[in-house]
C-alpha cells in the first residue's frame, strides 16, 4: 500500500463547510426571530407563545452536534472509514464527544492529513487485530508467525436465530464487529467499496435456513456450539493478508507476542 501525504479538500468537503456555515447562520436567525415573537406576545398575556414554536436552543450545543455530524459525514466522503477497524472507528467517535473539534478547513486538513499518514499502519494493525485469533499455531510458528490458513474456526460467533425454524445467526456485538472487520479487509484489499454489515446480513439469510453460506470470498457454515467455520476462497487476497500481518510483525509491533 502506497499512500501520498498530500491532502486536497474535495468539492464535497467544501460543500460541507459551506453548508455548516449557512446552517449555523440560519439556526441563529431562527432562534433570534422566535425570541422576538415571544417578546411580541409577552405583553398580551402569559403562555401565549405556542409550545411547538419555542426554541430553547443552546447555540454552543447546536454547533457541537452539527460538527460531530459533519465529521462523520466527512469521514465517509474521504474513504478513510474503509481503512479503519472497529477499534480505530471507536477512537474516532470518542474524539467527537462531548466536544468535537470545530469543523473548519484548517481542522479538516490537519485531521485528515494525520489520518493519511497513519492510514497504512492503521490498516495493517486492523488486519492483525481481525486475524490474530484465527490461527491455532501463530504463537509457536517460528518460520511464519501469525500466518492465516485457508480454513479457520471462529469461536463464540453464532447464536440462535429469531425465526421459528430453529435457525442460527451471527451474534451481535463483538462477533458482529469481528465479521464486519474481516469483510472490510478483504473487500479493501480487492480494491472494492465496502458495505458495512452486508456480509452479516447475507449470512443471516443462509444460517436461518441452516444452509452453508457462500459468495466470491468465503464459504461459511454455522454451528450450534457457537463456532463459525470459514473458508477463504481467494488465495490471492489471503496472501495479501498474510503479507500485511508479516509486515506488522516485522515492524516490531509485537515484541512480546511469542511469550504471550
> How far, in Å, CA of 144 to CA of 104, rounded?
46
> Does residue 169 contact residue 158 with C-beta atoms inside 8 Å?
yes
Mean pLDDT score, 95-119: 92
**DSSP string for 140-180:** T-SSSTTPPPSEEEESS-EEE-SSTT--EEEPTTHHHHHHH
What pLDDT band is residue 143 in, cutting at 50, 70 and 90?
low
Using alpha carbons, select from 166, 149, 162, 168 the residue that is nearest to residue 226. Answer: 168
- The pLDDT of residue 255 is 43
What is the per-residue pLDDT for 258?
Answer: 39
Checking if the pLDDT of 40 tops 60, the result is yes
- Average pLDDT score over the chain: 85
Question: Region 146-166: what's the mean pLDDT?
Answer: 83
| Residue 27 cell numbers, joined | 439556526
What was the pLDDT predicted at 228?
Answer: 94
Which residue from 139, 215, 136, 147 is spatially nearest to 179, judged by alpha carbons? 215
CA distances from 103 to 21, 72, 91, 144, 146 (A): 10, 11, 18, 45, 40
CA-closest candidate to residue 89, choices 99, 78, 75, 102: 75
Q: Mean pLDDT throughout 178-195? A: 92
Higher pLDDT, 145 or 185: 185
pLDDT greater than 50 at residue 146: yes
Secondary structure of residue 106 in the 3-state scheme: helix
| Per-residue pLDDT, 138 | 43
- 19-28, 148-157, 245-254: which has the minimum mean pLDDT? 245-254
* pLDDT at site 26: 93
Confidence at 140, pLDDT banded by 50, 70, 90 = very low
Burial class (CB in 10 A: 0-12, 13-18, 19+), 202: middle
pLDDT score for 260: 39
Q: Of 35-39, 50-54, 235-239, which gets the smallest average pLDDT? A: 50-54
- CB-CB contact of 135 with 190 (8 Å): no
Amino acid at each position: 500500500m502506497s499512500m501520498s501525504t498530500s491532502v486536497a479538500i474535495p468539492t464535497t468537503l467544501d460543500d460541507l463547510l459551506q453548508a455548516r456555515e449557512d446552517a449555523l447562520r440560519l439556526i441563529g436567525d431562527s432562534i433570534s426571530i422566535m425570541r422576538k415573537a415571544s417578546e411580541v406576545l409577552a405583553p398580551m398575556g402569559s403562555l401565549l407563545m405556542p409550545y411547538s414554536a419555542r426554541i430553547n436552543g443552546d447555540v454552543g450545543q447546536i454547533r457541537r452536534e452539527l460538527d460531530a455530524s459533519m465529521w462523520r459525514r466527512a469521514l465517509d466522503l474521504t474513504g478513510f472509514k474503509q481503512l479503519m477497524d472497529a477499534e480505530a472507528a471507536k477512537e474516532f467517535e470518542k474524539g467527537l464527544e462531548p466536544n468535537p473539534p470545530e469543523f473548519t478547513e484548517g481542522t479538516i486538513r490537519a485531521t485528515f492529513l494525520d489520518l493519511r499518514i497513519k492510514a497504512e499502519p492503521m490498516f495493517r494493525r486492523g488486519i492483525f487485530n481481525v486475524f490474530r485469533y484465527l490461527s491455532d499455531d501463530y504463537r509457536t510458528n517460528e518460520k511464519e508467525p501469525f500466518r492465516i490458513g485457508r480454513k479457520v474456526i471462529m469461536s463464540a460467533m453464532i447464536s440462535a436465530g429469531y425465526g421459528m425454524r430453529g435457525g442460527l445467526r451471527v451474534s451481535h456485538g463483538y462477533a458482529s464487529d469481528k465479521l464486519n472487520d474481516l469483510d472490510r479487509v478483504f473487500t479493501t484489499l480487492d480494491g472494492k467499496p465496502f458495505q458495512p454489515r452486508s456480509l452479516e446480513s447475507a449470512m443471516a439469510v443462509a444460517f436461518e435456513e441452516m444452509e452453508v453460506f457462500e459468495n466470491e470470498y468465503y464459504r461459511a457454515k454455522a454451528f450450534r456450539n457457537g463456532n463459525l467455520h470459514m473458508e477463504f476462497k481467494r488465495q490471492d487476497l489471503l496472501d495479501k493478508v498474510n503479507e500485511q500481518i508479516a509486515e506488522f510483525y516485522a515492524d516490531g509491533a509485537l515484541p512480546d507476542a511469542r511469550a504471550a
